[in-house]
Amino acid sequence: MLEGIDVSLVNWSRSQFALTAMYHWIFVPLTLGLGIIIAIMETLYVKTGNPEWKRITKFWMTMFGINFAIGVATGIILEFEFGTNWSNYSWFVGDIFGAPLAIEGILAFFLESTFIAVMFFGWNKVSKRFHLVSTWLTAIGANLSALWILVANGWMQKPVGMVFNPDTARMEMTNFWDILFSPTAVHKFLHTTSSSFVLASIFVIGVSAWFILKGREIAFARKSIVVAAIFGFMSSMYTVMTGDSSARDIAHHQPMKFAAFEGLYTGAEGAGLVALGLISTNKADPSNENLKDFTLKIEIPNILSYMAFLHWDAFVPGINDLINGNEKYGIMSATEKITRGKYAIEKLTAFKEAKKSGQTALADSLKTEIMGPDFQKNYFAYFGYGYISDPHTLVPSVPLAFYSFHIMVVLGMYFILFFLLALYFTLKGKIHKHRTFLRMAIWTIPLAYLASQAGWVLAEVGRQPWVIQDLMPTFAAVTKISTGAVQVTFWLFAIIFTTLLIAEIKIMTRQIKIGPKSEGGAN
């Protein structure tokens, strides 16, 4: 690690950011999905002229509004933390990372905030079609907001479209479109938004199930379930597709994360996918805390190879291959990467010293070398490894990555079946008879949130120790402030966010108990 880095400061800074991000992500997916659902429902109202669809739309719009307001508050705090707790990171990549965040604030957020007022207060004040357009633009704005955030996060997972400027010791953007259309960013956006649509659909079905169990608003609940079940099923299938392409992208660009979430220690040709696994507390490797033995493991042969490389017998590198290297398959050892990273740092240090001492010719020569394509490819690409002292710290928490991935996948398969049953029972007019399913629908709501959170735990914990893959380790990104200050704000945020969550749940449950309001007439 870097000299003078306080490990407790790094851990508390990570904990605070994780706390804020996870609370923020409780509110965001419901906003993304519910916005589209209410736009679909209002479209049905405009197309059919049936005032019942307006009544249904307005009820779910209330749920959207409550959730949206609290989500914005947590999101603002999250962005501020980049400056307060991660100033080294912000300095190093601010020219790149700041661009999508600025666009998110200027374009997407203003699009949402402009049309959300019409959506909520424009009933009977503007035409049906203009109000419908406002609803769709609000929903689109929410998802565009997510796009720019996920583009920024995708860049951290696979940095592209940039060049290192040795004069400023910063990364600078060279191609905005490479960053925007990076396959990693595209996969992350599509998978994240489609999974959010799934969560919102489950929320609608679960709340509607409560109305049916109480014998209230049966017609309202059935119509809501049909829309949510169709939308949720389509979103679930698309989530599977985007998850598959995202996993393949991870296998190519973040092989350590890929190996960790499958618990693959030793690479193999025709590697099997672990369908069921239980990790013990025993270490598989005494030198590494993160490598644990499997108490139980059931594999499906060859599936992992196909998932990663679309070939049944492809070689999938394991954690040991990535740490120790594998000459047969052209995999560089972590030690060699560390050596190359240290060499890149040494060259940068020599350049800065030559420039500071007025050795212009030497500084120009070193700068030309650093900016050269061979140096960039063979040395600077491993810049972050130069700060790593122990290769074993390159291994993320295998149990956490493994369980997060498998919880997400198992629940994703369950959701597909759940939507099919909800649609079948409702269309057959038998949904009120299946009280066990209705109760299950209510309890599926927290399972949807669990799957959503597990996905983000995998995405972020799985790439540790990197804040920027291969270029900047997490411990090099923190602000040098007192650990006590971070601890105080951690607990302060924990209290505030928990209070907001409790308030939202109380407000939502109160509105659900009130139910949809009767309409005095059509718009």
Which residues face 173 on adjacent strands? 162
Residue 207 lies in a domain: yes
Q: Is the domain of 99 the same as that of 209?
A: yes
What beta strand segments (E) does 200-272 contain?
268-269
Question: For residue 455, how many other CB atoms are within 10 A of its CB?
Answer: 25
Q: Which two tokens stand for residue 167?
A: 């004069």
pLDDT for res 3: 52
Range of 63-72, 333-342, 349-358 with top mean pLDDT: 333-342
Q: Is the domain of 93 the same as that of 200?
A: yes
Q: 521 pLDDT band (50/70/90 cuts)?
A: very low
Q: Is the domain of 376 the same as that of 491?
A: no
CB 367 within 8 A of CB 168: no
Q: Is the domain of 218 the same as that of 347?
A: no
Grouping H, G, I as helix, E, B as strand and the rest as coil, residue 24 is helix
Q: What is the pLDDT of residues 437-463, one digit of tens each?
A: 999 999 999 999 999 999 999 999 999
pTM as predicted: 0.91
Q: With the CA atoms of 327, 333, 335 and 338 taken in that order, what torsion angle do they form, in degrees rounded to the nearest 10?
A: 120
pLDDT for res 276: 85
What beta strand segments (E) does 333-471 contain?
466-468
In percent, the amount of the chain with pLDDT more than 70 equals 96
> What does the pLDDT average to over 20-34?
92
Residue 363 lies in a domain: yes
Grouping H, G, I as helix, E, B as strand and the rest as coil, residue 76 is helix
Q: Is the domain of 216 the same as that of 344?
A: no
Domain boundary among 360, 385, 410: 385
pLDDT for res 37: 97
Helix axes 51-84, 109-121, angle to 10 degrees: 150
Q: Is the domain of 86 the same as that of 228?
A: yes
Domain that holds residue 61: 10-243+484-514
Residue 464 lies in a domain: no
Q: Which two tokens stand for residue 83?
A: 């400056």
β-bridge pairing 162-165 and 466-468:
unpaired
Which residues face 468 on adjacent strands? 472
DSSP letter (8 states) at residue 302: T
Residue 463 lies in a domain: no
Total number of domains in the chain: 2
Question: Which residues are within 8 A (CB) of 262 and not within 5 positions of it... i.e. 6 or more apart?
Answer: 271, 273, 274, 304, 402, 405
**Comparing C-alpha atoms, which of 332, 384, 339, 349 is closest to residue 156?**
384
Residue 143 lies in a domain: yes
Residue 469 lies in a domain: no
> What does the pLDDT average to over 354-364?
90
H or E, element range at 516: none
Question: Which residues are within 8 A (CB) of 488 and not within 5 positions of it... i.e. 6 or more apart?
Answer: none
Q: Is the domain of 488 the same as that of 381?
A: no
SS3 content of the chain, % helix, strand, coil (to 5): 75, 5, 20
Note the residue count of the chain. 523
Tell me the C-alpha distance between 333 and 67, whole Å.
47
Tell me the C-alpha distance between 31 and 94, whole Å.
28
Residue 216 lies in a domain: yes
Q: Is the domain of 26 the same as that of 142?
A: yes
Residue 453 lies in a domain: no
DSSP states of 101-112: HHHIIIIIHHHH
Domain boundary among 353, 385, 417: 385
